[in-house]
C-alpha cells in the first residue's frame, strides 16, 4: 500500500525536541479543518457522518469531534462504552459476531445494531429491539474494489457481511443495511459499487429506513471528488427514502498527526542502519501488516544517503524501511513519520516491554502545546498478571 499523506503541512515548522520521544503529536487545527470539510459534506447531502472509533479514539479531542459530527460507531463493548462516556450523539455498533455475555449492554448503548449475518439477526434481534436499537444487516456487495486483498471485505471467502447473492428476503426485523468495501479510496470506487448493488437496494427499499455506507472514503484528501459524493448521497437518500450514514476514521484524522522518534544508535551492515525508539511492530504495526512505507518528515525528494530505520525490539523484522537522509543520522537526532494519528495510535502495544508513545496536542495557529498522556511501567505491568 502507498501512503496517502499529502506532505508535512504545518508540521514542517514543528520543533520535534519539544516533546518526549517517542510521541504522537496531533494538530487540533488540522483535525478541525478535516471536521469542517466533513460537516460541509453532511449539510450539503443530508447524510449523517460518524467517527469510527476503531481508527481514531483519542477521547481528549472528543469535544472537538462532537461539535462537527453526528456521533460514533463502535466495534464492541469497550468502544461503545467509550462513546457513551466521552462522545455522545448517535452510536452504531457492529461486530463480525457479538458475544452473548456483552450484547445486552452494547444494545442498550446503541441507536443502531448492525449484524454480520442473518444468523446473528435471528439470535439477537429480540434483545436489540427490546433495548430500542434499530436492527441492521451488513451486506457483502460481492463487488471488489480493494487494492490489497487482505483489506478487501469483498475478497473471495470474506467473513464480513452477508453476500447479497444469498439474500432473497431480508429478515423482518431489519430496517437498515450496512456496507463497508473501501480502504482509503476516492469517490470512483464508491460510485462503481453503488451502481453494482443499486438494483438490490431498490428491491428492498420499502423495508429500509437507513443505509450505512461504512468507511474507507478518504473525503478529506484534497483531490477527493466531494461534489460527486454529495450528488450521489443526495440521490440515494431521495430515491430510496432513507437516512444515509458514513462511518469515517482516516478522513477525520488524515494528515493531522505525526509520530516523533529519536535515533538511538547507528550500525553498519551493508550500509547504515539507524536503530530508533519507534518500533514498527509496537507503534506502527500497519508497516508490517499492510505493508506500507510511512512518509518521513523532511525526506529529500531525490538523492541523499539511504539509511535503514529499524525499531528497538528483538524482532528481526522490526524494520520500518529504507529512507534517504542528507547525511547519516546520529544518536540523539529526532525524526517524525507523517499521517500517524489514525490507526497507528489505536494499535500500539508493549511487546518486548517497549514503552508506548506519549500523546500531545499541538495548535499550529497559536503554537500552544500540551502533553495529554505519558505512559509508565504500570501500564505494562497491569496488562498481564
Q: Among residues 8, 63, 77, which one has the least CA distance to residue 32?
A: 63
Counting Cα atoms < 13 Å in the Cβ hemisphere of 179 gives: 25
What is the Cα–Cα distance from 227 to 223, expressed in whole angstroms?
11
pLDDT per residue as tens digits for the range 53-71: 999 999 999 999 999 999 9
Query: Is the pLDDT assigned to residue 2 strictly greater than 90?
Result: no
Task: Encode pLDDT of 343-382 as tens digits.
Answer: 999 999 999 999 999 999 999 999 999 999 999 999 999 9
Residue 147: is its pLDDT beyond 90?
no
* Average pLDDT of the segment spanning 226-240: 98
The pLDDT score that the predictor gives to residue 214 is 97
Domains and CATH numbers, the chain: 9-25+256-381 (2.40.37.10), 46-250 (3.20.20.10)
CA 104 to chain CA mean position, Å: 26
Strand partners, 336: 260
Cα–Cα dist 258/363, whole Å: 13
pTM (2 decimals)? 0.97
**Rounded mean pLDDT of 257-277?**
98
75, pLDDT greater than 90: yes
pLDDT tops 90 at residue 148: no
How many other CB atoms are there within 10 angstroms of residue 80's CB atom? 24
Those residues with Cβ within 8 angstroms of residue 299's Cβ, 6 or more apart along the chain or in another chain: 323, 324, 325
d(CA 139, CA 117): 8
Query: What pLDDT was estimated at residue 224?
Result: 98
pLDDT at 146: 85
Q: What pLDDT is attached to residue 351?
A: 97
Q: How many Å apart are CA 275 and CA 312, to the nearest integer? A: 6
Amino acid at each position: 500500500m502507498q501512503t496517502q499523506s499529502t506532505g508535512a503541512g504545518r508540521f514542517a515548522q514543528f520543533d520535534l525536541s519539544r516533546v518526549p520521544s517517542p510521541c504522537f503529536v496531533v494538530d487540533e487545527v488540522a483535525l478541525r479543518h478535516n471536521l469542517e470539510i466533513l460537516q460541509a459534506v453532511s449539510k450539503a447531502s443530508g447524510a449523517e457522518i460518524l467517527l469510527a472509533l476503531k481508527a481514531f479514539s483519542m477521547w481528549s479531542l472528543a469535544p472537538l469531534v462532537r461539535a462537527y459530527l453526528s456521533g460514533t460507531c463502535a466495534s464492541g463493548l469497550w468502544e461503545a462504552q467509550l462513546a457513551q462516556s466521552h462522545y455522545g450523539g448517535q452510536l452504531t455498533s457492529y461486530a463480525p459476531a457479538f458475544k452473548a455475555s456483552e450484547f445486552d449492554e452494547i444494545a442498550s448503548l446503541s441507536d443502531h445494531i448492525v449484524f454480520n449475518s442473518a444468523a446473528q439477526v435471528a439470535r439477537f434481534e429480540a434483545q436489540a429491539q427490546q433495548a430500542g436499537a434499530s436492527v441492521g444487516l451488513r451486506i457483502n456487495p460481492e463487488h471488489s474494489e480493494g487494492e490489497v486483498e487482505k483489506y478487501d471485505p469483498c475478497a473471495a471467502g470474506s467473513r464480513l457481511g452477508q453476500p447479497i447473492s444469498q439474500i432473497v428476503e431480508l429478515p423482518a426485523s431489519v430496517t437498515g443495511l450496512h456496507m463497508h468495501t473501501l480502504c482509503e479510496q476516492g469517490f470512483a470506487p464508491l460510485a462503481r459499487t453503488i451502481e453494482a448493488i443499486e438494483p438490490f437496494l431498490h428491491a428492498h427499499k420499502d423495508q429500509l429506513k437507513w443505509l450505512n455506507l461504512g468507511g474507507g472514503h478518504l473525503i478529506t484528501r484534497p483531490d477527493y471528488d466531494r461534489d460527486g459524493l454529495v450528488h450521489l448521497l443526495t440521490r440515494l437518500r431521495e430515491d430510496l427514502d432513507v437516512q444515509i450514514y458514513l462511518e469515517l476514521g482516516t478522513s477525520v484524522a488524515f494528515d493531522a498527526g505525526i509520530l516523533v522518534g529519536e535515533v538511538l544508535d547507528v550500525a553498519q551492515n551493508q550500509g547504515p542502519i539507524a536503530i530508533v525508539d519507534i518500533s514498527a511492530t509496537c507503534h506502527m504495526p500497519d508497516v508490517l501488516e499492510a505493508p506500507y512505507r510511512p512518509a518521513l518528515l523532511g525526506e529529500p525528494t531525490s538523492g541523499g544517503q539511504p539509511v535503514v530505520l529499524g525499531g528497538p525490539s528483538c524482532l528481526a523484522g522490526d524494520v520500518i524501511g529504507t529512507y534517504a537522509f542528507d547525511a547519516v543520522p546520529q544518536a540523539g537526532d529526532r525524526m517524525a513519520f507523517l499521517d500517524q494519528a489514525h490507526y497507528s495510535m489505536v494499535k500500539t502495544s508493549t511487546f518486548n516491554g517497549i514503552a508506548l508513545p506519549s500523546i500531545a496536542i499541538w495548535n499550529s495557529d497559536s503554537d500552544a502545546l500540551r502533553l495529554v498522556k505519558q505512559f509508565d511501567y504500570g501500564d505494562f505491568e497491569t496488562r498481564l498478571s
